């Protein structure tokens, strides 16, 4: 027996199993291999979009990455198990010719064993290989089942993410929109109810994103469903309320802080998708419409210092937007049409 090949197969199988389990059965966001494979594919798709302007690769990116993760697991399991049989030239016998099998035969046999289908014309030669075949059959069944069932909660979590995004756009499609829509002439207290609703759902998404970092790679070209854009608008609206609006006109401080902390719980998960704050600080939101309405804004050093203190947060939001294929200027893209449009006959 070639012990080096056998041990290599064991190590590769263990690494694959750990990556699969960390990705699908833990809340760590993904295993070492899966996270890097996902980011590498997304980087390529993002480069294609920036070079060609074609949005389709990004729209299909999430589904493509999910399939790539699944195929990667299957190939690694198959390759590692094949190495175990390849380590011994006579580990398998051809029943028809009563002769040792080739490397191709062993790879073929391993694939059938892992799929639990079995292969009648090739059999293990010896008790050790009989037991190993049984172990691999059970291992393949368990690992492949886990890998496939991983897809279902990811899709469900993506639906939740898009629902949150659309809900934010019903409040407004920019910082000005959100604030103007909920100014009652005296204060912004009417924002309390929708903000409380968003707090729970964003916390839920933060936990989903922590468990399934692949969620970041699901892109929608429809700005109503573009989570990165609409979450940034929401956070920028909170920053404006905290630092530009007098305390007497703000919604409840506890409501504002609850939502702010919920968004923060999501932002801290971005490291799992290899997103960090850049060096570029985005411009402050346009608030001229609020001033036209007679809303007195806090200006000067007080506001400047407040925004300086949240510079890293805003830079991280800019990185999030760019990694999703957008630019900061897309935040000011205007209102969205929420009316249902029926095709004419």
User: The domain spanning residue 23 has which CATH number?
Assistant: 1.10.287.70
- 104 belongs to a structural domain: yes
158 and 85 within one domain: no
Helix axes 192-211, 151-171, angle to 10 degrees: 160
pLDDT at 144 over 90: no
CB neighbourhood size of 79 (10 A)? 17
210 and 129 within one domain: no
- 307 belongs to a structural domain: yes
Give the pLDDT of residue 123: 81
3-class DSSP state for residue 26?
Answer: coil
pLDDT at 342 over 60: no
pLDDT at 118 over 80: no
**What's the whole-model pTM score?**
0.86
Average of per-residue pLDDT values in the chain? 89
Give the pLDDT of residue 47: 93
Please identify, among 95, 114, 149, the residue that sits at the C-terminal boundary of a domain: 149
Total residue count of the chain as it appears in this document: 345
pLDDT at 98 over 80: no
- 93 has which bridge partners? 100, 123
65 and 173 within one domain: no
More confident position, 197 or 134:
197
Give the pLDDT of residue 208: 92
Give the pLDDT of residue 339: 57
More confident position, 161 or 293:
161
238 and 131 within one domain: no
Give the pLDDT of residue 334: 55
- 344 belongs to a structural domain: no
More confident position, 313 or 120:
313
DSSP H or E run through 110: helix 103-114
Per-residue pLDDT band for 29 (boundaries 50, 70, 90) equals confident
Q: Which residues form the domain of 173?
A: 154-332
pLDDT at 336 over 80: no
Give the pLDDT of residue 343: 55
CA atoms of 192 and 254, how far apart (whole Å)? 10
3-class DSSP state for residue 50?
Answer: helix
* pLDDT 10s digits, 34-58: 999 999 999 999 999 999 988 888 9
CA atoms of 69 and 148, how far apart (whole Å)? 10
Give the pLDDT of residue 166: 94
174 and 294 within one domain: yes
- The mean pLDDT value for 243-257 works out to 95
CB 19 within 8 A of CB 31: yes
53 and 174 within one domain: no
291 and 241 within one domain: yes
Please identify, among 98, 120, 149, the residue that sits at the C-terminal boundary of a domain: 149
Query: Closest Cα partner for 46 from 273, 262, 200, 293?
Result: 273
Query: Closest Cα partner for 64 from 79, 84, 47, 44?
Result: 44
- 62 belongs to a structural domain: yes
CB 99 within 8 A of CB 166: no
CB 220 within 8 A of CB 54: no
CA atoms of 183 and 178, how far apart (whole Å)? 9
CA atoms of 74 and 68, how far apart (whole Å)? 10
CA atoms of 258 and 161, how far apart (whole Å)? 19
Read off the DSSP letter of residue 124.
E
305 and 256 within one domain: yes
- The mean pLDDT value for 252-277 works out to 93
pLDDT at 135 over 90: no
Give the pLDDT of residue 335: 54
Give the pLDDT of residue 117: 63
CA atoms of 101 and 13, how far apart (whole Å)? 22
- 258 belongs to a structural domain: yes
- 339 belongs to a structural domain: no
- The mean pLDDT value for 236-249 works out to 95
- 342 belongs to a structural domain: no
Helix axes 227-243, 151-171, angle to 10 degrees: 50
175 and 100 within one domain: no
221 and 178 within one domain: yes
CB 113 within 8 A of CB 187: no
- CA 118 to chain centroid: 37
Please identify, among 114, 149, 184, the residue that sits at the C-terminal boundary of a domain: 149
Give the pLDDT of residue 307: 94
- The mean pLDDT value for 125-151 works out to 84
CB neighbourhood size of 227 (10 A)? 25
183: Cα within 13 Å, side-chain hemisphere: 18
pLDDT at 28 over 80: no
116 and 179 within one domain: no
Query: Closest Cα partner for 23 from 204, 214, 192?
Result: 214
How many domains does the chain fold into? 2
* pLDDT 10s digits, 157-199: 999 999 999 999 999 999 999 999 999 999 999 999 999 999 9
CB neighbourhood size of 47 (10 A)? 11
234 and 133 within one domain: no
- 345 belongs to a structural domain: no
């Amino acid at each position: 027996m070639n012990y080096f090949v056998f041990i290599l197969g064991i190590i590769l199988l263990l690494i694959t199993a750990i990556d699969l389990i960390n990705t699908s059965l833990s809340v760590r966001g993904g295993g070492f291999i899966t996270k890097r494979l996902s980011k590498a594919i997304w980087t390529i798709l993002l480069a294609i979009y920036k070079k060609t302007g074609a949005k389709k690769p990004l729209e299909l990116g999430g589904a493509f990455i999910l399939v790539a993760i699944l195929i990667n697991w299957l190939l690694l399991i198959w390759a590692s198990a094949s190495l175990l049989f390849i380590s011994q030239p006579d580990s398998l016998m051809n029943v028809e010719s009563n002769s040792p099998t080739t490397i191709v035969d062993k790879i073929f046999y391993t694939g059938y064993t892992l799929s639990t289908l079995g292969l009648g014309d090739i059999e293990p030669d010896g008790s050790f290989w009989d037991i190993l075949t049984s172990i691999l059959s059970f291992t393949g069944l368990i690992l492949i089942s886990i890998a496939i069932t991983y897809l279902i909660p990811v899709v469900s979590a993506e639906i939740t993410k898009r629902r949150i995004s659309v809900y934010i756009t019903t409040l407004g499609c920019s910082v000005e929109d959100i604030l103007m829509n909920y100014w009652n002439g005296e204060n912004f207290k009417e924002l309390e109810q929708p903000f409380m609703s968003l707090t729970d759902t964003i916390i839920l998404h933060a936990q989903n994103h922590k468990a399934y970092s692949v969620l970041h790679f699901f892109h929608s070209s429809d700005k109503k469903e573009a989570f990165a854009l609409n979450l940034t608008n929401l956070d920028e609206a909170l920053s404006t309320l905290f630092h530009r609006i007098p305390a007497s006109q703000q919604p409840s401080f506890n409501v504002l802080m609850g939502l702010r902390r919920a968004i923060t719980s999501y932002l801290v998960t971005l490291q799992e998708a290899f997103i960090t704050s850049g060096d570029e600080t985005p411009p402050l939101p346009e608030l001229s419409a609020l001033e036209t309405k007679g809303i007195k804004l806090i200006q000067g050093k007080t506001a400047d210092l407040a925004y300086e203190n949240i510079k890293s947060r805003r830079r991280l939001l800019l990185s999030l937007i760019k990694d999703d294929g957008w630019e900061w200027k897309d935040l000011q893209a205007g209102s969205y049409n929420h009316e249902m449009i029926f095709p004419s006959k």
